[in-house]
Amino acid sequence: MKIDRDQFLEDGYVILREVIPPDRLEELRRAYELLVERQKVIWARERGPDDPPGGQWETNAQPRLMLGGMADEIDAQTAAAVEIWLHENVQGVSSQLLGVEDAGVTEMMLMCSPVRDHETGGHRGWHRDFYPPHAAPLQGYTDDILENGPRYVQWNLPLYDDSVLWVVPGSHNRFNTAEENEALNADPRRPLPGAIQVHLNAGDGVPYILPLLHWGSRYNAQMRRTIHGGFSEFSHYEDLSYLEHLSPAAQATFRRWNGRSDQTFAQIEAALRAVIGKDGAGYLAALEGLHPGRGEKGRLLSTIFLSKSAKRVHQLKSPHFDRLPALEQGWATHIHPITLHWGRPMADRFTPEESDALWARFKYVDDLVQAEEEQWTPGFQGEATRYYFEEVPEALRVEGFVASFGD
Ligand SMILES: [Fe+2]
């Protein structure tokens, strides 16, 4: 498939026609619908005491399948739902767009229409797909993208015609404008100035760069089945027991990605250990292993991500972990490879004493990405916080962090 990477990097997205070959569409719809039916059984079984009989299927504004956690539901009849992610038009194009040899799938999901209309209440408006306190200020991303290209490409791939998504071209590379902030504060559920509605026919796809300002414009009961997920060199697979149902080539691909995932885990651990050991050269070497050839801005973004990982390792090793707010606990245990977070498996690699030393050093970074007063910028996930939404302070540099280790 012919793609224009320069246009993608400039606009932050690109619309591609017939990503799903037309002769594969019916088969794919059937596979995904079967997964929906199987997931509905699970949601009904797991419903809360106050939920309707269908549980999440009935209550959620956007019921979403997470294929990574559905190993038992993936079999010969539904394998096509996974295999499409490995198609040249999806995986090969993702590698081209990221400028890497072998992009690995990080999330495989399906966004579904809700059973009833959720006109405004059900979902947030325009946003960038991250929350700075859990990841990094926007500038961390934009500087890294301008220096090295994006680390992650997200996809919408509808099985039925879909014009839900709106985007602001070029917004992945810059802060919100004053005009955008004004519009977002007035009503985050209306088209922003310069925004474009993405019209996709069944089988078309739109890959986009994560910090892009975008909006899912409707959450009503009109039939929607849109494949959603992304690619990166950082991935994690919670359960690959379904591999036997895939083609030999697909099995080999997932095994290769899973091997790389183990390496990523080891490199993150090595980076954290170097910090505990006050080993600046070791830290830089571990970052180089994590993403070879990235420049200063890439190392800085990874360092900010790792400061959050250090905080979570420290939280998980604390005897008071159970007293943290449920939301904090959830974030600490969440595994999110593209921001280098590995939850409990990573915390398990360290003693409480090591985690104290780790957090004591990374606090240097954490202190620099927050202010004394609460911050708020519209168009992000999450609430007001002391962490900066957009700017990375000039004072924060990898060499300064390394120098702060002392000896
Ligand atoms: Fe989003």
* Token pair for 209: 């760069």
Residue range 2-48, pLDDT digits in tens: 899 999 999 999 999 999 999 999 999 999 999 999 999 999 999 99
Residue 226: band (very low, low, confident or very high) from pLDDT cuts 50, 70, 90: very high
Residue 120: band (very low, low, confident or very high) from pLDDT cuts 50, 70, 90: low
| Cβ count near 201 (within 10 Å) | 13
Q: Is the pLDDT of residue 122 over 70?
A: no
Calculate how far, in angstroms, residue 130's C-alpha sits from the geometric centre of ligand 1.
Answer: 8
Residue 227, phi then psi, degrees to nearest 5: -65, 135
What is the topology classification, in CATH, of domain 5-254? Jelly Rolls (2.60.120)
- Of the candidates 84, 215, 212, the one whose C-alpha atom is nearest the C-alpha of residue 153 is 212
Question: Domain residue spans in the chain?
Answer: 5-254, 259-403
Cα torsion through 14, 18, 24, 26, rounded to 10 = 100
Helices (H), 68-159: 79-83, 93-98, 138-148
Calculate how far, in angstroms, residue 231's C-alpha sits from the geometric centre of ligand 1.
Answer: 15
- Of the candidates 62, 159, 58, 65, the one whose C-alpha atom is nearest the C-alpha of residue 115 is 58
* pLDDT at res. 117: 87
Stretch 173-180: mean pLDDT, rounded? 97
Average pLDDT along the chain: 96
| Residue of higher predicted confidence among 203 and 123 | 203
Residue 218: band (very low, low, confident or very high) from pLDDT cuts 50, 70, 90: confident
* Token pair for 57: 């299927």
- Of the candidates 44, 126, 134, the one whose C-alpha atom is nearest the C-alpha of residue 341 is 134
Out of 93-97, 114-118, 350-354, 386-390, pick the least confident: 114-118
Q: Is the pLDDT of residue 119 over 90?
A: no
Residue 148: band (very low, low, confident or very high) from pLDDT cuts 50, 70, 90: very high
Q: Is the pLDDT of residue 273 over 90?
A: yes
Residue range 280-310, pLDDT digits in tens: 999 999 999 999 999 999 999 999 999 999 9
Calculate how far, in angstroms, residue 226's C-alpha sits from the geometric centre of ligand 1.
Answer: 13
Calculate how far, in angstroms, residue 267's C-alpha sits from the geometric centre of ligand 1.
Answer: 29
Calculate how far, in angstroms, residue 129's C-alpha sits from the geometric centre of ligand 1.
Answer: 5
Calculate how far, in angstroms, residue 154's C-alpha sits from the geometric centre of ligand 1.
Answer: 9
Calculate how far, in angstroms, residue 211's C-alpha sits from the geometric centre of ligand 1.
Answer: 9
- Of the candidates 205, 180, 174, 202, the one whose C-alpha atom is nearest the C-alpha of residue 11 is 174
Q: Is the pLDDT of residue 121 over 60?
A: no
Calculate how far, in angstroms, residue 150's C-alpha sits from the geometric centre of ligand 1.
Answer: 16
Amino acid at residue number 164? V
Calculate how far, in angstroms, residue 284's C-alpha sits from the geometric centre of ligand 1.
Answer: 32
Q: Is the pLDDT of residue 123 over 90?
A: no
For the range 351-358, what are the long-range contacts, defined as Cβ-Cβ under 8 Å and sequence gap of 24 or more?
Answer: 351/317, 352/317, 352/318, 354/276, 355/310, 355/313, 355/314, 355/316, 355/317, 356/314, 357/276, 358/272, 358/275, 358/276, 358/310, 358/313, 358/314
Which residue's structure tokens are 């007035």? 186
Calculate how far, in angstroms, residue 94's C-alpha sits from the geometric centre of ligand 1.
Answer: 18
Q: What is d(CA 191, CA 23) in angstroms, rounded to the nearest whole number? A: 35
Distance of CA 318 to the CA centre of its chain: 27
- Of the candidates 275, 283, 284, the one whose C-alpha atom is nearest the C-alpha of residue 313 is 275
Burial class (CB in 10 A: 0-12, 13-18, 19+), 316: buried
Calculate how far, in angstroms, residue 127's C-alpha sits from the geometric centre of ligand 1.
Answer: 6
